[in-house]
A = this chain, B = another copy of it.
Amino acid sequence: MADDPGTLSFAMVGGDGPHSYRHNSSYQAGVVASAKTLIGNAIAEIFDVNHLTTSSGSIGIADLGCSVGPNTFITVKNIIDSVELKCQSHGFGSQVLEFQVFFNDHVSNDFNTLFTSLPNDRHYFAAGVPGSFHGRLFPKASLHFVNASYALHWLSRVPKDVVDEQSPAWNKGRVYYTNAPNQVVEAYSAQFSVDMESFFKARAQELVSGGLMTLVIPCLPVGTAPSQSPLVAVADLLGDSLLDMANMKKWTRSTYPATPQELENLIKRNGCFEIVKLEPSGRAPVTKETAPNVQMFMSHLRAALGGLLGEHFGVEIMDELFVRLTEKVANSSTLSPSSYRMVVDLFVLLQRKAA
């Protein structure tokens, strides 16, 4: 159950400072808000309170890739409020029902900040669980609801072939896969597939029969090339900035924007989950007016990536790196509304089939 030392851990910037995720996660907050109704409806419609609350003494909930809050607390409250509401509407008092919530993220996540930020008026027992969600984190059949928002697009590692000079997928001198040979894109896709396979296999063991899992994951619209995604464009600009500054040959961490079809195929291949919903989360389309400005976008990006980049390349170069990157992003079309249309936030609702 130990972390594979070959994999890379990843965590948002901890603490309470100006570059912290805590103060720079309003974009993710928008994602959480748009998922709120979807999660509430899912519980109202198919969370089987009779079965799930009698088979065990308490309800186990996990938020995977939780970071340090506040978004994770909002999501968890939404889940619990919805379950309590359903219990009341079914005529049994929710006061007898107890909830245990597991906040999961990589071991490098700032759990101290997470714990000190826990809401005082919470209706649940809280626990932090460090480790990669690409492996097992919980005992068998111990969870009733699992959520993962904006977490699954992170790969567990850069594909081996991409950094292997002997491989046709060697991504020579490139930091990402825009304009890279097909083999490079395929290597990233294969890594995503391996990661999702591990993810679904682990969750299938941990969720009780009938338990629910909700995922919010940035995807590419069907028929779009990964290079058209702003996620990829930003990663490219980041790599360029690193090359400018330190002649870094590679950047060792990646996201992969899958297509909805690709994700659906991976869920079906696992076979343990019923796909109840797989649809855009309904985030309002980005327009010229609502497109994030460069400064806000960069604050978010630094909160999400600053910790990891600092660890790899030294915290002392972070200020310069983000100045350079800001300039590149400002001079690109990365933040244009049309570029944003190349990201769909997919909402996926899965139900664990009977084992």
Where the two chains meet, the residues of A that have a C-beta atom closer than 8 Å to any C-beta of B are 1-3, 57-58, 98-100, 102, 107-108, 110-112, 115-116, 118-131, 136-142
Residue of B nearest to A3 (CB): B120
15 additional contacts (CB under 8 A) given A1-B124, A99-B139, A107-B118: A2-B119, A2-B121, A3-B120, A57-B139, A57-B142, A58-B139, A98-B139, A107-B115, A108-B116, A111-B112, A111-B128, A115-B130, A125-B136, A126-B129, A128-B129
CA distance A107 to B138 in the complex (A): 22
With A2-B120, A121-B2, A142-B57 known as contacts, the answer to whether A127 contacts B115 (CB < 8 A) is no
CA distance A282 to B121 in the complex (A): 44
CA distance A68 to B170 in the complex (A): 43
Residue of B nearest to A96 (CB): B140
Task: For A122, list chain B residues within 8 Å (CB).
Answer: 1-2
Q: Chain A: interface secondary structure?
A: loop
Tell me, rounded to whole Å, the shortest Cβ–Cβ distance linking A4 to chain B.
10
Task: For A123, list chain B residues within 8 Å (CB).
Answer: 1
Task: For A98, list chain B residues within 8 Å (CB).
Answer: 139-140
**Interface contact A142-B58, CB-CB below 8 Å:** yes
Task: For A137, list chain B residues within 8 Å (CB).
Answer: 125
**Interface contact B58-A140, CB-CB below 8 Å:** yes
Tell me, rounded to whole Å, the shortest Cβ–Cβ distance linking A256 to chain B.
27
Most B-side CB within 10 Å, residue of A111, A125, A136: A125
Task: For A99, list chain B residues within 8 Å (CB).
Answer: 139
Tell me, rounded to whole Å, the shortest Cβ–Cβ distance linking A208 to chain B.
9
Task: For A111, list chain B residues within 8 Å (CB).
Answer: 111-112, 115, 128
Tell me, rounded to whole Å, the shortest Cβ–Cβ distance linking A56 to chain B.
8
